[in-house]
Amino acid sequence: MSKPKAERGLSDNQAEAIARNIRVSPRKLNLVAGSIRNLPASRAIADLTFSKRRIAKQVKKTLESAIANAENNHQLDVDKLYVKLAEVGRGIVMRRFHARGRGRSATVEKWFSHLKIVVEEREASAPVPRDVKPGRGKTATSAAGEGA
């Protein structure tokens, strides 16, 4: 007798893709993942295509996999997909040594990361606002009007 089939952890309008053991630190990967959270899938792909960061290519590949999973496995409309979740996790850490003077050594840590992207089908008329932090200090226009 085999194990019973596990229930699906996502709702019917969601699909996911997971990339494991990506050779980049979680802090650097989270910067790229944060730039695509709550964006439409097409806009997120465009942002990743023109990003200067090296890891953006692998994030784009994972996002395209999530979109393909949504289309082929769950019959979701590609034009209505948004990035609901871009979660970064910590993987293994390889430790190497670096030779130093007087017979000493220093450790070099090579970090690995995991990436989970969940896309969700939403209505196109209801965009999700980006998280905007309130400005600190005075703006250029308000500062120019004072002190005269």
pLDDT tens figures, 28-38: 999 999 999 99
Domain extent at residue 103: 14-122
Is residue 135 a part of any domain in this protein? no
Which of 40, 81, 41 minimizes the C-alpha distance to 60?
A: 41
State how many domains the chain has. 1
Q: At 100, which CATH number?
A: 3.90.470.10
Tokens 């190497």 — which residue?
96
Is residue 79 a part of any domain in this protein? yes
Is residue 83 a part of any domain in this protein? yes
What is the DSSP-derived secondary structure letter of residue 51?
-
Q: pLDDT band for position 144 (50/70/90)?
A: low
Q: What tens digit of pLDDT does each residue of 55-101 get?
A: 999 999 999 999 999 999 999 999 999 999 999 999 999 999 999 99
Record the tokens describing residue 127, joined without a space: 């965009």
Is residue 69 a part of any domain in this protein? yes
Is residue 97 a part of any domain in this protein? yes
Is residue 128 a part of any domain in this protein? no
- Quick one: average pLDDT of 9-30? 97
The mean predicted confidence, pLDDT, of the chain is: 90
Q: pLDDT band for position 141 (50/70/90)?
A: low
pLDDT for position 129: 61
Is residue 20 a part of any domain in this protein? yes
Tokens 């850490």 — which residue?
93
Is residue 9 a part of any domain in this protein? no
